[in-house]
Structure 1
């Protein structure tokens, strides 16, 4: 029975990551990280196995061939009022997409600096196909202080952005290292 439940969960997760494919290419973002899997499982209802995790889907939007976004919040919060937020975004790679993850991040940083001039931004690590970064701001007009750690991953057909955001002061070093590990694990899966 336990193996059947595990198999069902794996199938559900495979179906989920397959849904994130945006264009004609067959690729998805897969993860076996327990925290990421727990967050993703909050979307599905499996009979006789109610979800008991700490997250729920707060918002999702999908436009075929263009983009998809899913935002998860702690189960006792809402998308309108949250303390922590986990986000997965998928964009179809098109001719006008930034050439690489560093350029994509630079564009996001420039937009953030226009809104919040005092933002503190730091690249944690980067490679040809992905970049992991963090930022923190306070005293930004219309936006509460927050800390975010995020990763941009370039596939052949799609671009993914995954992020953990927390309102308030920057997270402690132990929590920071945990989210660096969590966001570093997901990989592009060619199908």
Structure 2
């Protein structure tokens, strides 16, 4: 990772008052608070602490004198003597940054936040680095893992699980599927309880829309969609879905809309705010803001829906103004048609009515998917076909298998292949059997990481 001087300048103007923080860190290391009196440190340990403090103080003096390399040398000695102190790594990171060694600075800032999650200065500068990466588009959905590694460098740690890779940089986790970036997680105070949705908004976009960015932190989960050829950094249209943790327990949808309006009025020049369909727990509204030095003029249509635990928001943004009446009407209807559904019905304790509703949804979705698969068979597209099947049978989908199934694909009827769905429970988890019109089972759908996959090869 090599940055030019102009990029580095984004991080150089820091008002640093090092001594109070440094002294506090060193003193805490010497005398940690405890009800049980700790053993007295050895003379060698005390000598190391004293020497580390002296090098750090000298490094601070050299920073003020703009002797970057001299400061680096002093802070490196300090860190070597006391590697477990967050503030020392932070000071070394600042010295590297002042010397235009952004890559080394990035490593030290990460060490600082990993050692002390309350080091506010280190967190602030860590997020400046992260904002730089974000503006580069490297954190967008679909970025190849190799490209992320080129810019962000070697991660602090790495995990592999169920075919997925997780690269960890400080408190940020990057999740990859098939060697492409899938989601960004800010793990500060992120509760596992809220990572799993209770309910979610069901909607359909279709071509040319695609996922552009996916993020989760301690307060919300956000996914942003853009059209082909555009990015979340540079777009004319954007669609987003957001789940706001716990707020469904605290506010009505109308109250959330009013809170959002207050925030918009503080940050932008609001030109219009209009409630399209009013409701206490389900409200549809739109707003327009004028161009500013921060953002271009834009028109946004939102729907806010209150769930049993979380608040759910769908939003369409257009920067192609004025928004045509026909386009406005289309997006109003799209947002109105979205449904709040159980996020993971395959593991939920469903009533008979809910199972019937799930079967109906899966029937419609299965016909849509089987229609795609018939096309993939005719085209011999193995790569497009495989993701619809479980890992257990995916290897059986080959060029030869698709070639043999082409004749069947030419005469197959969706109504005959997907006649009804039979919901079953196996070991506490729901499964769905796709039944053909002749009564035979076409295939069995099983839940895998939040989606349904076929567990048998239905074509021959």
TM-score normalised to structure 2 length: 0.31
The aligned counterpart of 1:88 is 241
Q: Which of the two has greater helix per residue?
A: 2
Is 1:183 the counterpart of 2:335? The answer is: yes
Match of 2:212 among 58, 66, 78: 58
Deviation at 1:23, TM superposition (A): 6.7
- Classify 1:25/1:113 alpha carbon distance in 2 versus 1 (closer, same or farther; 3 Å): closer
Task: Give the SS at the match of 1:106.
Answer: helix
Deviation at 1:28, TM superposition (A): 2.4
Task: Give the SS at the match of 2:270.
Answer: coil
Q: Which of the two has greater strand per residue?
A: 1
Counterparts of 2:331 and 2:197 in 1: how far apart (Å)? 29
TM-score normalised to structure 1 length: 0.71
User: Could you tell me whether the CA contact under 8 Å between 1:23 and 1:158 is conserved in 2?
Assistant: no
Deviation at 1:129, TM superposition (A): 1.6
Deviation at 1:128, TM superposition (A): 2.4
Structure with larger Rg: 2
Deviation at 1:37, TM superposition (A): 4.2
Structure 1, gaps ≥5 residues long = 1-20, 39-52
The aligned counterpart of 1:30 is 202
The aligned counterpart of 2:228 is 75
Deviation at 1:98, TM superposition (A): 4.9
Counterparts of 1:55 and 1:99 in 2: how far apart (Å)? 31
1:119-156 deviation line (CA, Å, top 9, x unaligned): 31111012222110001121333110100101011010
- Classify 1:55/1:25 alpha carbon distance in 2 versus 1 (closer, same or farther; 3 Å): closer
Give the RMSD, CA atoms, in angstroms: 2.2
Deviation at 1:22, TM superposition (A): 3.9
Deviation at 1:161, TM superposition (A): 0.6
The aligned counterpart of 2:264 is 112
1:21-50 deviation line (CA, Å, top 9, x unaligned): 94777322223xxxx242xxxxxxxxxxxx
Bigger RCO (CA 8 Å, 6+ sep) = 1
Structure 2, gaps ≥5 residues long = 1-192, 346-460
The aligned counterpart of 1:48 is none
The aligned counterpart of 2:290 is 138
